[in-house]
A and B are shown apart, each in its own frame.
Chain A
Amino acid sequence: MARKTIKVDYLARVEGEGALTVVVRDGKVRETQLRIFEPPRFFEAFLRGRAYTEAPDITARICGICPVAYQMSSVNAMEDAFGVTVDGPLRELRRLIYCGEWIESHTLHIYMLHAPDFLGYEGAIDLARDHPDIVKRGLALKKTGNALMTLTGGREVHPINVRVGGFYKAPRKRDLVAMADEVKRARDMALETVRWTAGFDFPDGERDYEFVALTHPHEYPFNEGRIVSNKGLDISVRDYNDHFVESHVAHSHALHAHIRQRGAYLVGPLARFALSFEKLSPLAREVATEAGIAPVCRNPYQSIVVRAVEVLYSCDEALRIIENYEEPDRPFVPVEPRAAIGHGASEAPRGMLYHRYRLDDDGTILEAQIVPPTSQNQPSVEEDLKVLIDGWLDLPDDELRHRCEQTVRNYDPCISCATHFLDLRIDRG
């Protein structure tokens, strides 16, 4: 094999910025390095000295694509610290706002960022020229997600209505009911999306992942559950740091997360789907089975189908919540701060997002820890590349580079939570 280095300045269609290097020696992938910079580190420092009440709004600014996830993990952690339980309609509203975020974020990734890989397009613009109706369907579906977020969150980009203990203002029943028809139409579009993506041609690439996700006895997970894996892990969110470790690696500004004494693990749609398949709505289960991915999908390229199934589920779940909603007596549960440590996790579109706060007796934040899904998945992305790309080294550089990019995009890496421009280098020695 020729000795050369391939350098690409920019990896397109990944949220944010980062860099990837693939090192090839003697026809084998020796090393893969994903380097990202992490705004959460900046925000962890920024949160120190702030009031606990500010955490939902400040952390929501970390990411324009998944602000709800940051808000939810932060309120879960604060409520854990102060011994507050949020249930009934308020808990349902938190699931509803999360449905909106999953619909919005997943649909953006499916239509704008990932589908072009499977259909031979440079990007969404070329796809839109040839298939305007498909792109319009994606945009309409995404808009329903936005509308659900605005309904409960007050604003779609950085929802301002979320607070520790609940919401500043609860939506009226009639406002929710008024959205039901739009969500039903979105569900039809989601169904078409599952069937559309299931028909793509997927590279082979089954991997024996350790799937990690929140797992709840009765629900597909958003905001609550134990941290469970398919390889025996079953712990309380409070014990996260006893079982997971974040470490600095020389090549990245980001911390890489591992399960202690075990290594890489996978969070996100594939993990949730594998661990909670039976808790999906009947329609979502049926469609996933018809798509040939049920009950476990180990091919990361098929994550696009799993995302589509989760969009369908989110529409179903939103409809269930809208139909059963009863306006709460008050929009929040009273909160009394105390000196404590609080842990919170929720399922961001890209996977589990863990927050931990140490708080003073008046609720001042003394210490914050934020572990985004993208940094948890980094070691898995590197392993995927190492394992899968070995078989493709004979491909011309352009195609190989495209496969690498596609493999990174499988994770929908939210590098805006995590990084700057993704710069791809293939070093062949």
Chain B
Amino acid sequence: MGSAGFLRVIGIGHRDRADDAVGRLLADRLRERAPPGVEVVDTDGEAARLLDLIAGVDHVVIVDAALSGAGPGTIRRFDAVARPLPRTAFAASTHAIGLADAIELARALDQLPAHCIVYAIEGSSFELGQPLSPAVATAIDETIALVLDEVRVTAV
């Protein structure tokens, strides 16, 4: 799983499912620009693996695609320590237990980091073999900037 860092950015998604790939594509691009002390990982969103990535660091920033009815490319920020994620917003997971469950499992097991921020990028297509939709592709740069701000604030 890579070495445990003080701060970890986790991109979640499925690379073959159109906008569902957004978390992982963001991680690919952020990896080159991440400041020292920040570990960037990407994963498929299965809860037990996610739990491993969430636990054991002080601060995590998670980026995932969402499907909530908002406009494609809409970026939303959630503080998962303050309250559970709205489950319906993360309906894109193809796993039996996904991101919202992984966070609640971490909370139940007392393994939730002190800071756990989730960025959700609204997708429009989750079809196998389809490309990223333009609005979501555009949202990647904006989200990277937001995540880097988040990281800088925390690092200070």
Residues of A whose CB lies within 8 Å of any CB of B are 12-17, 39, 42, 46, 61, 64-65, 108, 112-113, 123-125, 128-129, 132, 135-136, 139, 142-143, 146, 156-157, 415-416, 420-421
Determine the chain B residues whose CB is within 8 A of the CB of A136 once the complex forms: 109
**Whole-angstrom distance between the Cβ of A409 and the nearest chain B Cβ:** 9
Q: Is the CB of B95 within 8 A of A123?
A: no
Q: Closest B residue to A422 by CB, please name it.
A: B96
Contact A157 B49 (CB under 8 A): yes
CB distance from B112 to the nearest CB of A (A): 12
Q: Which residues of A contact B16 (CB under 8 A)?
A: 61
Chain B interface residue count, CB cutoff 8 Å, equals 25
Residues in chain B near residue A112, CB distance under 8 A: 47-48, 96-97
3 closest A-B pairs by CB: A128-B108, A64-B44, A125-B104
Q: Cα distance A64–B51 when bound, in Å?
A: 16
Whether B128 sits at the interface, judged by CB under 8 Å, is yes
Q: A125-B108, A135-B105, A146-B49 are in contact. Are A113 and B128 (CB under 8 A)?
A: no
Complex contacts, B49 vs chain A, CB 8 Å = 146, 156-157
Output the residue of B15, B52, B95 with the most chain A CB within 10 A: B95
Interface of A is mostly: helix
Q: Which chain A positions have C-beta within 8 A of B45? A: 64
Residues of A contacting B104 in the complex (Cβ-Cβ under 8 angstroms): 125
B133 touches A (CB below 8 Å): no
- The distance in angstroms between the C-alpha atoms of A165 and B105, with both chains bound, is 41
Query: B129 and A16: CB pair below 8 A?
Result: no
Q: Are B48 and A39 in contact (CB under 8 A)?
A: no
Shortest distance from the beta carbon of A47 to any chain B beta carbon, whole Å: 12
* B38-64 at interface with A (beta carbon < 8 Å): 43-49, 51-52
Complex CA distance for A298 and B105, rounded to whole angstroms: 33
Cβ contact within 8 Å between B46 and A65: yes
B96 x A139 contact (CB < 8 A):
no
B138 adjacent to chain A (CB < 8 Å)? no
Known interface pairs A125-B101, A143-B52. Does A132 touch B94 (Cβ–Cβ under 8 Å)?
Answer: no
| Bound CA span A323–B48, Å | 29
Known pairs A124-B105, A136-B109; A16 contacts B48 (CB<8 A): no
Given A64-B46, A125-B104, A142-B48, is A416 in contact with B94 using a C-beta cutoff of 8 Å?
yes
B44 and A157 contact, CB distance less than 8 A: yes
A-B contact pairs, 7 of them (CB 8 A): A12-B96, A15-B95, A65-B46, A125-B104, A135-B105, A136-B109, A139-B51
Given contacts A129-B108, A136-B109, contact A39 B128 (CB under 8 A): yes
**Given pairs A64-B95, A157-B43, A421-B91, 14 additional interface contacts (CB within 8 A):** A13-B97, A15-B96, A61-B15, A64-B46, A112-B47, A112-B97, A123-B97, A125-B101, A125-B104, A128-B105, A129-B108, A139-B48, A142-B48, A156-B49
A46–B105 touching, CB < 8 Å: no
Residues A16 and B15 in contact, CB atoms below 8 Å apart: no
Residues from chain A with a CB closer than 8 A to the CB of B43 are: 157
B105: A residues at CB distance < 8 A: 124-125, 128, 135
